[in-house]
Structure 1
Amino acid sequence: MAQHSQTVTGSGIVNLIAGVAATGGLLFGYDTGIISAALLQITPDFSLGTLGQQVVTSAIVAGALAGCLMAAPLSDRLGRRYMIMFAALVFIVGTLVASFAPGVEVLVAARFILGLAVGMCSQIVPVYIAEIAPREKRGQMVVLFQLAVVTGILVSFIVGYLCRAQSWRLMFGLGIIPAVILFGGMSLLPRSPRWLAMKGKLESAFDVLQRLRRDPVAARAELDAIVAMHDEQAPWSALLQPWVRPAVVASVGVALFCQITGINAVLYYAPTIFAGVGFGEGSALLTSIAIGVAMVISTAFGSWAVDAWGRRRLLLRLVPGAAVSLMVLAAMFAQGATHGINTWITAAAVVCYAIFNVGSLSVAIWLVGAEVYPLSCRSKGMSLVAATHWTADLLISLTTLSLVQALGAAGTFCMYAGLNVLAFVFIWRYVPETWGRSLEEIETALKAGTFDRLR
């Protein structure tokens, strides 16, 4: 009975730590999502054409690509916690510059600075959470980061709608609130026990594990397992080793398909696309709020499903629904999305797509990346995952409006439907089941060559 009480207490501490760290995801979501509403005001203010809109939108993605690559060696050297705190400071600076930008050039620079922070958080927050969480709750805890991301997106959509008669500068400026919370909260949290062990600080690692698990015997056993699997910090070239390659293929593939299946095309440009086919500005923004609500609900469901169904099974069950939703959406645009009942079918198809895609690929991307790599190159592996995500995101954000102009909305969404089908095939072939296994057990499977048999 006493042991159960101790477990609950330890879990409470882990939940608190994961919740504070996941505030980085809230900033991630808010700063990437707010552009969809702000762009409707920025475009006439700065006389932006299609290319200008895409550059302003994608600047944060370019910064995120640089930020996630920069974070890996720094987080290995300085620690996961300090890197998250540094990212919070960068969020604050970028938010202030964006809010007072006098012209489009400064705004693009500010969005790039915000992107640096977003990239850092996408790389290091899931790793930090995965390294503190017990195996039985690791999926739910890491997905808390993604839940914070989509909550940030929803908040940005609501703020965009409520501030549509105000300035876009206020939309950007409100992002400073969670940035301050993240910095202050992280200053009170412990360092990653696995990072401490990797640095040879075994007693400090034991102290943290004992605080997290509230059971000295369990903490010592976990530390012994970490030490038994421990290698020195590996260089980037370690990711090219044949025994690590299955982890690279699985994690990078999920990251790539998470983006090229179209979710950020909908996220960034939904109001612009819907306004362009006849929806009023207010109606287009309300459609985005519905999408945001759907994303939060599906991510909350996914946070349960990854530890109830498993990561692989969740992906295989939901991705086909995303493909079907996009096919319906393409058909509606081909027939005339704003005519009669087609308007409602169009909106429903977008919401269903968000539920199926976000509840599967967007839930799994940071979880799979944080789980599958060995400790010696986990930070660098996660950087590769994040870099893949942001490179594909950059491609999407720079081409979506151009694709809509060239192929039409129907052709664009039909293309994304086909990519969802390819994602299903990839998951079936290359993505293993990591549910219920410790990080050290997953690493053992990699070394034994049985990683692809985890089902």
Structure 2
Amino acid sequence: MNANTGAPARQRPSLDEAPLKPIHILAAAAVLGGAALDGYVLGIVGPALSLAGGELSLSPLSQGLIASSALIGVFIGGIFFGNIADTYGRRPVFSWNLASFVILSILQLFVQDVWQLVVLRLALGLAIGVEYAVGTSVLAEFSRRKGRGVLLGTFAVAWQIGFTVAFIVGALYKGDDWRLLLATSAIPAIITFILRMGLPETPMWLKARGREDEARRIVDRHFGPEYDIPEVTLNRSRPSVIQLFTGRNKMQHLYSGLFWFCQVGPFFAIFTFIGPVMKSLGFEDGTLVDMLLNAMQILGAVFGLLLLHWLSRRHFVIWTFAIMFAALLAIGLLPDAPFWVIVILFGVYMFIAPGANNIQYVYPAEIFDTELRSTGVGFSAAFSRISAAGAVYLLPTSLDMLGASASIIIMSAFPLVGLLASLAWAPETGNKQLL
């Protein structure tokens, strides 16, 4: 019998069935603030590079290296720190990661050469990898089951807002100090760090590590004694990435990284170098086009939340991959099409791609169980950054050597592979009880 309620513990509803409480709002703000920060850090590098080109004598390859260095860092950070969070706790990794954002952002003020900038952007990528691996795990474990998919998908909307704000800041900035432009990411990092200091450890992780008394105290304080923690697999040993591919769900675990891989390659490449891409396709008023396309991205990200509500997870990935493939292939095959046709096709991609990105923060958190959730999400984020870093690194050279049309056709191969993989392996997790 439970001393607080007088009822057997098994009869208590799960904490993910609790009504909206302050802890839900705090967790959402702490995680989504980090998502917006991630988008800002990755987005501000484009405007900064346009100012730094003369001083640093940037070649297409060095531009690609600087732009992709943060994405390489995400690969390392996702693999390493996701596993650390599963082993030692979400809170210590999740909270203090923001301190590194503040320090690294400020250190960009003192950059003197390309390699110093590459190292700092690589380190920022490590911090972003923590956000992908741990942020969605924290949000999933503090979320209500009803509307969980839409809430997790909001991570992508927050990311897109941060990315778009970075573009707006870059467009409105009238100075020539690119170091100061990069360092502005310290501002949202400080705000988010303050929010996270008030967030406790997730009860599900504590229970999975055998620390049930601590978990119970957090539930009693933030949810109420009438709620219980879902049954999770007890795992006192250190989780390993190898465990992701030895169990019965190994194909789903692999798919979690593969679909993300196929979504982000063309997305990061095109949006990081949107100016040269547009110019190569004949768009002269780059600032106006950029503003319109960024507005389209925000609308697309919001539309993606509606799709998460309307569609099953499986249908979501299949249909969005199909549309992105068709749009990119058409752009590449129709370089001499009328201006309005190219605008519409690019608009379709710019609208659907941000919406499709929403599921990157839903699927992995639902596919992996608590004992491996951060490790699994970290692996998926890391795997995806192979394509993102590679595409960003090579696109400037591809534009220079092959032109925009051929480069866009190459990019269309990513959503094609994603479509085929989704038809074969995409699971349905929409109503899954997190374990």
Which of 373, 376, 387 pairs up with 1:378? 373
Q: 1:265 aligns with which of 269, 275, 284?
A: 269
Amino acid at match of 1:303: L
Distance 1:152 1:380 in 2: 25
- Residue 319 of structure 1 deviates from its aligned partner by 2.2
Runs of 4+ in 1 over 4 A off after TM superposition: 6-9, 210-214, 276-280
3-state SS of the aligned residue for 2:412? helix
Q: Deviations over 1:281-327 (max 9, x none)?
A: xx324433333222222222222332332222222232222122213
Amino acid at match of 2:336: Q
> Paired residue for 2:7?
none
SS of residue matched to 1:432? coil
The answer for the alignment partner of 2:143 in structure 1 is: 133
Name the structure 2 match of 1:294: 296
Q: Mapping of 1:15-414 within 5 angstroms?
A: 15-211=25-221, 213-214=223-224, 216-217=225-226, 219-220=227-228, 223=229, 225-227=230-232, 229-233=233-237, 234-260=239-265, 262-276=266-280, 279-280=283-284, 283-332=285-334, 334-335=335-336, 341-342=338-339, 344-360=340-356, 362-414=357-409
1:232 and 1:376 in contact (8 A); partners too = no
The amino acid across from 2:341 in the alignment is I
Paired with 2:222 and 2:350, the residues of 1 have a C-alpha distance of 35
Spell out, residue by residue over 1:79-128, the C-alpha distance to the aligned partner (whole angstroms, 9 max, x if none): 21221222211111111121331222222222112111111111110111
The answer (yes or no) to whether the contact 1:160–1:285 under 8 Å persists in 2 is no
Structure number with the bigger relative contact order (C-alpha 8 A, sep ≥ 6) is 2
- The superposition leaves residues 144-184 of structure 1 with CA deviations (integer Å, 9 ceiling, x where unpaired) of 22111111111011111101554322321221111001111
Q: CA deviation at 1:235?
A: 2.5
Q: 2:434 aligns with which of 435, 439, 446?
A: 439
Conserved 8 A contact 1:29-1:153: yes
* Structure-1 separation of matches of 2:205 and 2:169: 38
Secondary structure of the residue aligned to 1:226 is coil
1:209 Cα deviation after fit: 3.4
Aligned counterparts of 2:210 and 2:402: Cα–Cα separation in 1: 56
Q: 1:291 to 1:8 in 2, by over 3 A?
A: farther
With the length of structure 1 as denominator, give the TM-score of the two structures.
0.86
Partner AA of 1:415 in structure 2:
I
Per-residue Cα deviation, 1:390-425 (whole angstroms, up to 9, x for no partner): 122111111111222333211111222243233222
- The aligned amino acid for 2:198 is L
CA contact (8 A) 1:193 1:206 kept: yes
Query: Whole-Å Cα distance in 1 between the matches of residues 174 and 66 of structure 2?
Result: 19
Given residue 202 of structure 2, which amino acid in structure 1 is its aligned partner? S
TM-score by length of 2: 0.90
Alignment check: 8 A CA contact 2:245 2:254 kept = no
How many Å separate the matches in 2 of 1:439 and 1:8? 14
CA contact (8 A) 1:311 1:433 kept: yes
- Rounded to whole Å, the distance in 1 between the matches of 2:347 and 2:166 is 17
Q: What's the offset of the Cα at 1:132?
A: 1.0
- CA 1:327 to 1:284, structure 2 compared with 1: closer, same or farther past 3 Å? same
CA distance 1:7–1:122, shift in 2 (3 Å): closer
Q: Sequence identity, in percent?
A: 22
TM-aligned CA distance change 1:129 to 1:57, over 3 Å? same
Between the aligned partners of 2:393 and 2:72, the Cα distance in structure 1 is: 10
Counterpart residue number, 1:451: none
1:184 is matched by which residue type in structure 2?
I
- Residues 329 and 349, structure 1, Cα contact 8 Å, conserved in 2: yes
Which is worse superposed, 124-133 or 164-173? 164-173
CA contact (8 A) 1:231 1:375 kept: no
Q: What letter is aligned with 1:45?
A: E
CA distance in 2 between partners of 1:101 and 1:418 (Å): 37
Render the CA deviation track for 1:202-222: whole Å, top value 9, x for unaligned. Answer: 1332333345545x43x22xx
CA contact (8 A) 1:373 1:381 kept: yes
Instruction: Report the more deviating stretch, 229-238 or 129-138.
Output: 229-238
Give 2:420's match in structure 1, choosing from 414, 425, 431. 425
Residues 63, 114 of structure 1: 8 Å contact kept: yes
Task: Name the SS for the 1:22 alignment partner.
Answer: helix
Alpha-carbon contact 2:105-2:185 (below 8 Å) kept: yes
The answer on whether the counterparts of 1:68 and 1:120 sit within 8 Å (CA) in structure 2 is yes
Gaps of 5+ in 2: 1-12
